[in-house]
Copies of this chain bind each other. A is one copy, B any other.
Amino acid sequence: MKISEMISQEMEVSPEEATFLDACIPIKNFKKGDILLREGQVANNCYFTIQGCVRQYYLSDGDEHTTAFFIEEQSIASMTSYLNRTPASHFLECVEDCTLAVLNFDKEKELYDRYPKYESLCRMSMEEDFGKQQERMAKFITSSPEKRYLDLLEYQPGLMNRVPQYVLASYLGVKPESLSRIRKRVAQKG
């Protein structure tokens, strides 16, 4: 599968444009455990997840804190590092074998210069992601750990079987023991 074939399912893509897109946004395969970005590196790429699951985590006092998952149809961007060309403060790791469309920082500029309509598309996609991020942040602040777990079951049920439990626990902001207790409580209720 090439990126031009995926895009042409949504809108018209001329042959010349297709050639440019495929050179500009290659689709690459990664193995489970591959690190896409390390703390301290500048993020040179954004990604779009075609298949697989990537997690974002921070190292703090030797502990990994998982702060985001990205699965099929989701964009992966370490935005502050990518935009400002500054070292990232987190890691991006493939939780499974992954197939990702890779957009390089320099290529992105080239793409927008040549085909401004993609800047428009990216703005809209960015706004949508931003909205989801706002909602997630609000949900996280306003919810108890148990409510966060129930939301995960409701909105991202696939994650439960794709991600180790201790990683899920850190994503929910609790210790693994607490997640076990929450699971038992929820199972008893429901």
Interface residues, chain A, CB within 8 Å of chain B?
Answer: 56, 58, 60, 65, 67-68, 77-80, 82-84, 89-90, 112, 116, 119-120, 122-124, 126-138, 140-142, 171, 173
**Cβ of B132 and Cβ of A80 under 8 Å apart?**
yes
Do most interface residues of chain A lie in helix, strand or loop, or is the interface mixed?
Answer: helix
**Cβ of A133 and Cβ of B134 under 8 Å apart?**
yes
**Cβ of A79 and Cβ of B131 under 8 Å apart?**
yes
Residues of B within 8 Å of A132, CB to CB, are: 80
Q: How many identical chains are in the complex?
A: 2
**Cβ of A138 and Cβ of B56 under 8 Å apart?**
yes
**What 4 pairs between A and B have smallest CB-CB spacing?**
A79-B131, A80-B131, A123-B123, A65-B142
Task: Give the shortest distance, in Å, between A190 (CB) and chain B (any CB).
Answer: 21
**Cβ of B128 and Cβ of A130 under 8 Å apart?**
no
**Cβ of B137 and Cβ of A137 under 8 Å apart?**
yes
Residues of B within 8 Å of A131, CB to CB, are: 79-80, 82-84
Residues of B within 8 Å of A60, CB to CB, are: 142
The 8 Å CB contact of A90, one of B68, B130, B138, is B138
Residues of B within 8 Å of A134, CB to CB, are: 68, 78-80, 133
Residues of B within 8 Å of A128, CB to CB, are: 79, 83
Residues of B within 8 Å of A67, CB to CB, are: 137-138, 141-142
A-B contacts, 15 of them at CB < 8 A, read: A56-B138, A58-B138, A65-B138, A65-B141, A79-B128, A79-B134, A83-B124, A83-B127, A83-B128, A89-B135, A89-B138, A119-B120, A123-B126, A137-B137, A137-B140
Residues of B within 8 Å of A138, CB to CB, are: 56, 58, 65, 67-68, 89-90
